Amino acid sequence: MSKHTCTALVISCTDFRFVTMIRDLLVGSGLKDNYDLIATPGASLGLEKIADSISTSIRLHEPENIYIFDHEDCGAYGEDNPREAHMRNLKKAKELLIQNYHNKKVLTYISGFDKIEEIL
Ligand SMILES: [Zn+2]
């Protein structure tokens, strides 16, 4: 097997309504064909469920940056879907990832229907 690496690992919700918007942002950031993609309902909410997939991506493809995309109106959150819950989970996910992969840069976002906002 040849060695092949990519720049980023992207973690997003499965929700079809945000797929193209997120892809366009990534392509616009110069990441076309240059990111691994893991989709799980709720994105940051489901981080523990995809721990193995994350570690496989990092081991095989050595991405420098990890992007997490939550989105508004997320079914994985059910009725209780406030922005604060996403902010909290994104922060928690970021801390966990940095703890486990301390040389990676973690970027977090919330997608709306009109735009994607970076959460700093
Ligand atoms: Zn969702």
7 Cα: distance to centroid of ligand 1 (angstroms):
24
Alpha-carbon distance 99 to 82, whole Å?
Answer: 26
Which stretches of the chain drop beneath a pLDDT of 50?
none
Look at residue 44 in the predicted model and tell me its pLDDT: 97
Look at residue 3 in the predicted model and tell me its pLDDT: 84
Look at residue 38 in the predicted model and tell me its pLDDT: 98
Look at residue 62 in the predicted model and tell me its pLDDT: 97
Q: Which residues of 25-60 are buried (b: 16+ CB within 10 A; e: fewer)?
A: bbeeeebeeebbebbbebbbbbbeebeeebeebbee
DSSP symbols for 17-62: GGHHHHHHHHHHTT-TT-EEEEE-TTGGGGGGGGHHHHHHHHHHH-
Would you say 67 and 10 are in contact if contact means Cβ atoms under 8 Å apart?
yes
50 Cα: distance to centroid of ligand 1 (angstroms):
15
The domain limits of the chain are: 8-75+84-119
Third-level CATH fold of 8-75+84-119: Beta-carbonic Anhydrase; Chain A (3.40.1050)
Alpha-carbon distance 93 to 45, whole Å?
Answer: 8
Look at residue 116 in the predicted model and tell me its pLDDT: 97
109 Cα: distance to centroid of ligand 1 (angstroms):
13
Q: Give per-residue pLDDT as tens, 92-112.
A: 999 999 999 999 999 999 999
Alpha-carbon distance 109 to 25, whole Å?
Answer: 11
Look at residue 51 in the predicted model and tell me its pLDDT: 96
